[in-house]
Amino acid sequence: MPTNTQRALFALRISIAVFCSVWAIEKFVKPETTAAIWSKFYLVDRLPTEVAYIIGAIQLLAVVLFALGLFKLWTYGFFLTIHALGTLSTWQILITPYQGSNHLFVAAIPLLGALLALFLMRRDDTWLSLG
């Protein structure tokens, strides 16, 4: 019987995988959105569609491995790192949450905390994990 901690870590792993899969799939469905995001937040002016597809493929593979609880140091660390970089790239929006719809960006902060918690407790995340 799994412990409550194991159930909680499983819930974090699966819900984060769902969240990250939406962003990965978007790179195939709307590669122009990926290009616009990279232009605005990462200062990459012309991101080719093929590069968006490659990034999406890497992310989808990582999501599957992450959801299965495989290679935890690398997959959990990958999503923690890319989400931390993405969150930090929006720092100007985060410090002005009441201008426009900027308050929606604040949702990245608790996700960052959840990713950090899951990364730190990855050895305890064993329920329904293949790793």
pLDDT single digits (tens) 28-56: 999 999 999 989 888 888 899 999 999 99
Considering the domain boundaries, does residue 52 fall inside one? yes
The predicted model gives 107-131 an average pLDDT of 97
Q: Helices (H), strands (E): how many in the chain?
A: 6, 0
Domain region containing 103: 4-123
Residues 6+ positions from 130 with CB-CB distance below 8 Å? 68, 69, 70
pTM across the whole model: 0.91
Sign of CA dihedral 65, 70, 75, 76: positive
Per the structure, how many domains does the chain have? 1
Q: Given this model, what pLDDT does residue 131 score?
A: 87
pLDDT single digits (tens) 81-99: 999 999 999 999 999 988 8
